[in-house]
């Protein structure tokens, strides 16, 4: 399991999650932050820090945000 960042982060880009990540696996993109799936250690430290509740375990993504799983993976496969 890893975490993904979904639509509520788009254009908000609050860096609270970045500040608490112990392995620095959260990267800034053009429109939002992204969690690198191979670097994330599944600690969950980022999830409660997000002020817009945009971070979800990849196994528990709300249906309206499922497209963000592919968007996150695609970001790192460029």
Report pLDDT digits (tens) over 8-50.
999 999 999 999 999 999 999 999 999 999 999 999 999 999 9
pTM of the model: 0.93
Number of domains in the chain: 1
* Angstrom distance (rounded) from CA 28 to CA 13: 8
66: domain range? Answer: 3-76
* Angstrom distance (rounded) from CA 78 to CA 54: 23
38-47 contact pairs (CB < 8 A, 24+): 38/76, 40/2, 40/3, 42/1, 42/2, 42/3, 44/3, 45/20, 45/21, 46/3, 46/17, 46/20, 46/21, 47/3
**CATH number of 18's domain:** 3.30.70.20
pLDDT at position 22: 97
């Amino acid at each position: 399991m890893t975490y993904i960042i979904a639509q509520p982060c788009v254009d908000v880009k609050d860096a609270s999650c970045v500040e608490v990540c112990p392995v620095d696996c959260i990267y800034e993109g053009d429109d939002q932050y992204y969690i690198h799936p191979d670097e994330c250690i599944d600690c969950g430290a980022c999830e409660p820090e997000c002020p817009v509740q945009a971070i979800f375990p990849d196994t528990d993504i709300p249906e309206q945000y499922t497209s963000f799983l592919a968007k996150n993976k695609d970001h790192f496969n460029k």
